[in-house]
Structure 1
């Protein structure tokens, strides 16, 4: 099947999962400015899995092209559709092993267009983060993201460190640089992300987290501190 037919077939399947009432709830919850069909995440994931199984292994170039086609506003439509963009993200996640640091340029473009944590986070953690865990060259990309003017890129740089932490291979040198750079951020989504990553690390290395919190003291936002210590006992805090 040509890519256009494949993409349109997946879009039709997602349309069939829609629920207008749920769509309005989703739009309100995500404070979204794009269209919503109201499909449930497990159902959407099942659709993408079926497509991936039918396609089999693909080179990175084809994966990126399919994801971009899904992401683009459909012909005749007046706005992007959340479920189509979610499917594009999920496709990149499921084919993350086919990608390397050079493919993060396309991922970056999508991150800049996401506009919501619900699309940013899986793309940052399970795509960019998965690439960074395998390809050391991705580190220079993340280093650039953490200093970017777009706070979603800064959030993505931090969250991309999660796979390494979960795999028992935390990049504490990079995490220290990122956390030191972001400690004064006022943006909620950055304070939350920093706390989330520190919380994950606290399970394996509570001393690192405690030392970092002590070093920055009152400069650490209450939200960040609360998240960072959520899984630490009173003695470790």
Structure 2
């Protein structure tokens, strides 16, 4: 294949029923997964709430190839993946997805290309092909085709999950894979909301849980829409382990920055809602009591979705 996310988009994004089961350059792993730049005073909020690290992230090493899917079987190539995806693509789905993911001039997904592969079919293709070597994942992430990049992220999630499992845990490999993913984010390859949502929590959310989280301050403060969303969605991994500290710090920072972009507001409100649902409703209510007056309507609506009607109306009434 010439150089040409996992998971179904979350219902928080308002995905139509027809898109709920549908479906970004290839990085060199040269960046420390804990973040390359020191955080300034403006980034202290999330850093202050992070748990102590067991150790500093190691420098990035050259990635090792993934094993073949079965003994005696040659590892898949990028062309293998592209051909298998093309076989299950649908032209009408491609047209719909081009519109739904805002690929027109000036839109957030400008220039993205879809071939029309639904997520269940995409997952089945990657599973059938077997573990993807990192060199193949890199080339898939270089592709202008959205589903190729999503397949690469599905494969990367699989490698990271295997390196994190109790029986096959490999901390060195986890470091390499987290750094590889971060490089892909910084190179603009994870560049649509479904790609972010399908990968950030499963890689950085797992890798950074017991490490310093300066990286998330850096990504949030940069201002790039997708970097900021990666920072926010990474905290979903923390939330699922009952740690809401970084989510609350980053949500407050989004309000301080004044980012009113719809996708940022949805991501922030969604994570706040998950804090109330999965960690402690008291934490959500305390955040709302302090900040509802300055929360944009979309963020507030998402954050209060699981509250009763009277409580939602009360918080809406506090907005300026």
1:217 matches 2:292? yes
Alignment deviations for residues 171-216 of structure 1 (CA, whole Å, 9 cap, x no partner):
x332232111101321111111110001111113111111111112
Structure 1 runs, 4 residues or longer, greater than 6 Å off? none
Distance 1:115 1:166 in 2: 24
Give the corresponding residue for 2:268. 194
* Equivalent residues, number: 218
Distance 2:224 2:304 in 1: 27
* Structure 2 residue runs without a partner (length 5+): 1-72, 104-110, 164-172, 313-320
Give the corresponding residue for 1:108. 182
Higher helix residue share: 1
Q: Is 1:101–1:132's contact at 8 Å kept on the other side of the alignment?
A: no
Give the corresponding residue for 1:155. 229
Distance 1:109 1:28 in 2: 28
1:68 matches 2:138? yes
Determine which structure has greater relative contact order: mean sequence separation of CA pairs < 8 Å that are 6+ residues apart, divided by chain length.
2
Distance 2:92 2:79 in 1: 24
Alignment deviations for residues 23-59 of structure 1 (CA, whole Å, 9 cap, x no partner):
111111112323221111100001111223xx4xx8x
Q: Per the alignment, in what secondary structure is the counterpart of residue 100 of structure 1?
A: helix
1:1-237 equivalence runs, <5 A: 6-32=77-103, 33-52=111-130, 55=131, 62-63=133-134, 65-73=135-143, 80-97=144-161, 98=163, 100-111=174-185, 112-133=188-209, 136-137=210-211, 139-167=213-241, 169-170=242-243, 172-183=244-255, 184-203=258-277, 204-234=279-309
Q: CA RMSD in A?
A: 2.2
Give the corresponding residue for 1:77. none
Distance 2:231 2:112 in 1: 25
The alpha carbon displacement at 1:102 in A equals: 4.9
Q: Is 2:219–2:230's contact at 8 Å kept on the other side of the alignment?
A: yes
Q: Is 1:96–1:130's contact at 8 Å kept on the other side of the alignment?
A: no
Using the size of structure 2 for normalisation, the TM-score is 0.62
Distance 1:187 1:70 in 2: 29
Distance 1:100 1:232 in 2: 38
